[in-house]
A and B are shown apart, each in its own frame.
Chain A
């Protein structure tokens, strides 16, 4: 059984996931040599760590379980530091870490599964083409409140922030070295789509969302534009190759080089077969 935060199941993409899982179950992978491999994999994997990664790993785990019915994958969230600590102490088979690995974590084997990228968005008709990091900080802390100050029209800025607990908020605050207490927002939103709609409906708004969502909407006629950061254009491509600064790798870590079940699961999580799940969670799959 997947024991994960029950609310993750409420996500709106539950339906497509269920569909794709159903189609997988219709074709049991029990033909020939593959069948014996499937029979061999048994046991239980405990995976703990970053709450950013937990919903994705839970979905991958569900699909993995449907491929190997004797396997149980238990996903618990509790932050990247818990992922590292649990993997080190052997409390978990695999840890989830939603950032680059630190120097003192070299003892762990780390496997990137996806990248998470966040970019600022403006309304398409906003004349501002780029903002320096300091300008974005000034806007979000309320020191700049009019677009005129950054080369735009004379209009008050509507600052769109994310609700507490969202990983996009975490990435954003971390990169700009801000604290959520210091952010002076006019609108607080939940998911990425709501952010896109808020900015699309307000010429003077600035927001930030996952790059996957922003890029999809911008290319499908929604009047928003993605702002570059540090001169790097915001796109899933620049996130994938690590050039975009407002992004981070999402890792699975183990204490020792993984074997058997853990190895199979990590390889599966890195494979092309889960790219659709990665995109559903608005992350960027790595090139393979």
Chain B
């Protein structure tokens, strides 16, 4: 028997109410993103209009008070820090989830999972503070000055590790038990089961985790601001200080006026563009089935 959905709904007024509530909630969620983008564009427009888009990529430096607005060094800084931390955190996080699911005895697995959850809950400013007083002097002893791209990557890795570890954990938990039993019946060893059966089955969950951690790595501000040194330059080594786009906004917003302020909104717009590109790339790689 098939009932069309509109028939079901028309019979139950509460269902219709729920439908409209859900529609409203969805509309709000969508509208917020659009509003933010519209706001960013509006605030950035004055400087875009009389400075031009090109100068944000061709000016000799970022000195907004003197009229130079080059954002590219910060774009590179953001990208390097993001790529570095994602490259380290992803295998670590996935392997941690595999350990938790298939190797660790339950006595270890449960507290271990709680620990990872705790790691996810620590505020970013705490990581930043720890980085500033422990990590930065440590790196400074090896290769001065200390605040550097490396410090940023390490801090970001620690921060996004729980995201990917927990997402991978949830992904692995969703792998149907039959698959595992089937693999066991075929006599596959544990690692072969994980590699050949579990990973393909949990692919979308793992992929979602990578997208979420990358988003967090791009958006992180406070911790990065405290450990990266914030010098506007394209880094030539891991020990060079960098400034990310997010740190740029946080550092300068408080006293920025006029074009300087509008230029910071352009930073925000560029960040938004990066995130959009990330989502589009993820969609393209997974052929539109990220969450499926």
List chain A positions with a Cβ less than 8 A from chain B: 5, 7-8, 10-11, 51, 77-79, 155-156, 158, 163-167, 179-181, 185-190, 194, 197-198, 201-202, 204-205
Q: Does B27 contact A (CB under 8 A)?
A: no
- Which listed residue, A10, A77, A163, A166, touches B230 by the CB 8 Å rule? A163
**Residues 229-247 of chain B, each 1 if its beta carbon lies under 8 Å from chain A, else 0:** 1111000000001010000
Q: How far is the CB of A193 from chain B (nearest CB, A)?
A: 11
* Given contact pairs A164-B252, A181-B61, A186 touches B147 in the complex (Cβ within 8 A): yes
* Given contact pairs A164-B65, A202-B137, A51 touches B257 in the complex (Cβ within 8 A): yes
Q: How far is the CA of A204 from the CA of B136 in the complex (A)?
A: 13
Q: How far is the CA of A190 from the CA of B231 in the complex (A)?
A: 12
Q: How far is the CA of A194 from the CA of B133 in the complex (A)?
A: 11
The reply to whether A180 and B137 form a contact with Cβ atoms under 8 Å apart is no
* Given contact pairs A5-B257, A165-B252, A165-B254, A187 touches B144 in the complex (Cβ within 8 A): no
Q: How far is the CB of B143 from chain A (nearest CB, A)?
A: 10
How many positions in chain B have a CB within 8 Å of any CB in the partner chain? 33
* Given contact pairs A180-B63, A202-B136, A156 touches B144 in the complex (Cβ within 8 A): yes
Name 18 interchain pairs, CB-CB below 8 A, sorted by A.
A8-B254, A11-B254, A78-B258, A79-B257, A158-B140, A158-B144, A165-B65, A180-B63, A186-B147, A187-B145, A188-B230, A188-B241, A190-B252, A190-B254, A197-B132, A201-B136, A202-B136, A202-B137
- Which listed residue, B232, B241, B255, touches A51 by the CB 8 Å rule? B255
Q: How far is the CA of A11 from the CA of B253 in the complex (A)?
A: 11
* Given contact pairs A11-B254, A180-B65, A189 touches B230 in the complex (Cβ within 8 A): yes
Q: Does B170 contact A (CB under 8 A)?
A: no
Interface centre among A156, A164, A167 (most CB of B within 10 A): A164
Q: How far is the CA of A78 from the CA of B259 in the complex (A)?
A: 12
CB contacts (< 8 Å) of B146 on chain A: these are 158, 201-202
- Which listed residue, A156, A163, A197, touches B145 by the CB 8 Å rule? A156
Residue of B nearest to A185 (CB): B231
Q: Does B251 contact A (CB under 8 A)?
A: yes
How many A-B contacts are there with CB distance less than 8 Å? 93
* Given contact pairs A158-B146, A188-B230, A201 touches B65 in the complex (Cβ within 8 A): no
Q: How far is the CA of A96 from the CA of B284 in the complex (A)?
A: 55
- Which listed residue, A5, A10, A181, A190, touches B63 by the CB 8 Å rule? A181
CB contacts (< 8 Å) of B252 on chain A: these are 163-165, 190
Q: How far is the CA of A201 from the CA of B231 in the complex (A)?
A: 18
Interface centre among A155, A181, A202 (most CB of B within 10 A): A202
The reply to whether B66 and A180 form a contact with Cβ atoms under 8 Å apart is yes
Q: How far is the CB of B110 from chain A (nearest CB, A)?
A: 37
Q: Does B24 contact A (CB under 8 A)?
A: no
Residue of A nearest to B258 (CB): A78
CB contacts (< 8 Å) of B137 on chain A: these are 201-202
If A77-B257, A156-B144, A201-B136 are given as contacts, then 6 extra A-B residue pairs at C-beta distance below 8 Å, sorted by A number, are A7-B253, A10-B254, A156-B145, A165-B257, A186-B144, A197-B133
Residue of B nearest to A159 (CB): B145
Q: How far is the CB of B240 from chain A (nearest CB, A)?
A: 9
Q: How far is the CA of A8 from the CA of B256 in the complex (A)?
A: 11
**Residues 42-85 of chain B, each 1 if its beta carbon lies under 8 Å from chain A, else 0:** 00000000000000000001011110100000000000000000
- Which listed residue, B61, B133, B147, B255, touches A166 by the CB 8 Å rule? B255
CB contacts (< 8 Å) of A165 on chain B: these are 64-65, 252, 254-257, 260
The reply to whether B64 and A164 form a contact with Cβ atoms under 8 Å apart is yes
CB contacts (< 8 Å) of B255 on chain A: these are 51, 165-167
**Residues 100-117 of chain B, each 1 if its beta carbon lies under 8 Å from chain A, else 0:** 000000000000000000
* Given contact pairs A78-B257, A181-B63, A187 touches B147 in the complex (Cβ within 8 A): yes
CB contacts (< 8 Å) of B17 on chain A: these are none
Q: Does B250 contact A (CB under 8 A)?
A: yes
CB contacts (< 8 Å) of A8 on chain B: these are 254
The reply to whether B256 and A198 form a contact with Cβ atoms under 8 Å apart is no
Interface centre among B64, B232, B251 (most CB of A within 10 A): B251
Q: How far is the CA of A20 from the CA of B221 in the complex (A)?
A: 31
